A and B are shown apart, each in its own frame.
Chain A
Amino acid sequence: MSFVAGLAALAVVGPAVNDAAPVVTQAAAAARPQDLSGLSLEELAAIEVTSVSRRPEQLSQAAAAVFVITRDDIRRSGAASLPEVLRLAPNLQVQRVNAGDYAISARGFNSFETANKLLVLIDGRSIYTTLFSGVLWDAQGVVLEDIEQIEVISGPGGALYGSNAVNGVINITTRSARNTAGPALSAGLGNDDRTLTLRQGGQLGDSGAWRLFATGFDRSASEFETGGKADDATAGVRIGGRADWDTSLGSWSVQGDLYDHQVLGDVVLQGGHLQGRWTRDLGENGQLMAQTYYDHTDRVSAASNERVSTIDLAVQHAFDSGSHAVVWGGGYRWVENSLVSAPGSGAFLSPEERRITLGNLFIQDQISLSAAVTLTVGVKLEDSSFTGFEVLPNVRLAWSREDGSLVWGAISRAARTANRIDRDLTLPGLLVGGDFQSEQLTAYELGYRSQPTPNLSFSISAFYNDYDDLRTLQPDAATFIPLSFGNGGEGHTSGVEAWGSYQITPRWRLDFGAATLDKDFRVKADALDLSNLASIGDDPGWQVLLGSKSQLTDNLELDVRLRAVDELDVSHLDGYVEADVRLGWRFANGSEIALTGSNLLDDSRLETADPTRRRVLGRSVYATYRAGF
Chain B
Amino acid sequence: MFRRLALTLAALALTLMAPAGRSHAQSLEYAVKANYLVRFAAFVEWPPTAFEANSAPLIICVSGRDPFGETLDQAAGGQSAHGRRIGVRRLPAGAAMTGCHILYVGAGSAAAANNRAAVLIVTDSAVTQQRGMIHFVVVSNRVRFHIDKAAATSSGLGMSSRLLNLAISVREGG
Contact = CB atoms under 8 A, between A and B. Distances in A.
B172 interface: no
B10 to A, nearest CB: 15
B96 interface: no
Contacts of B25: 400, 404
Interface in B53-106: 70, 74-75, 77-79
A52 interface: yes
Interface in B1-34: 15-29, 31-32
A36 B27 CA distance: 13
A61 interface: yes
Contacts of B39: 39-41, 44
A322 B74 CA distance: 34
A470 to B, nearest CB: 37
B138 interface: yes
A49 B29 CA distance: 5
Interface in A532-548: none
Interface in A374-395: 374
B166 interface: yes
B28 A47 contact: yes
30 contacts: A36-B31, A37-B38, A37-B75, A41-B40, A41-B162, A42-B166, A47-B142, A49-B27, A49-B28, A49-B138, A49-B143, A50-B23, A50-B28, A51-B138, A51-B141, A52-B23, A55-B141, A57-B23, A181-B165, A322-B20, A323-B17, A323-B22, A368-B20, A368-B22, A371-B20, A371-B21, A454-B74, A454-B77, A505-B78, A506-B78
A47 B143 CA distance: 8
Cβ-closest 3 pairs across A and B: A371-B21, A506-B78, A368-B20
Majority-rule SS of B interface residues:
helix
A335 interface: no
B15 A370 contact: yes
A481 interface: no
Contact of B142 (A48, A323, A370): A48
B49 interface: no
Contacts of B36: 41, 44
A213 to B, nearest CB: 19
Contacts of A48: 28, 141-142
Contacts of B109: none
B101 to A, nearest CB: 17
A302 interface: no
Interface residues of B, number: 39
Contacts of B31: 34, 36
B146 to A, nearest CB: 13
Contacts of A400: 25-26
B144 interface: yes
A369 interface: yes
Given A36-B75, A41-B43, A590-B162, A251 B140 contact: yes
A368 B16 CA distance: 8
A45 B78 CA distance: 22
A552 interface: no
A514 interface: no
B153 interface: no
Interface in A4-41: 34, 36-37, 39-41
A404 B26 CA distance: 9
A454 B77 CA distance: 10
A372 interface: yes
B21 A34 contact: no
A430 B86 CA distance: 74
A368 B75 CA distance: 30
A36 B143 contact: no
A44 B35 contact: yes
Contact of A370 (B18, B77, B162): B18
B32 A49 contact: yes
Contacts of B112: none
Contact of B22 (A37, A44, A52): A52
The winner among B17, B25, B138 for most chain A CB atoms within 10 A is: B25
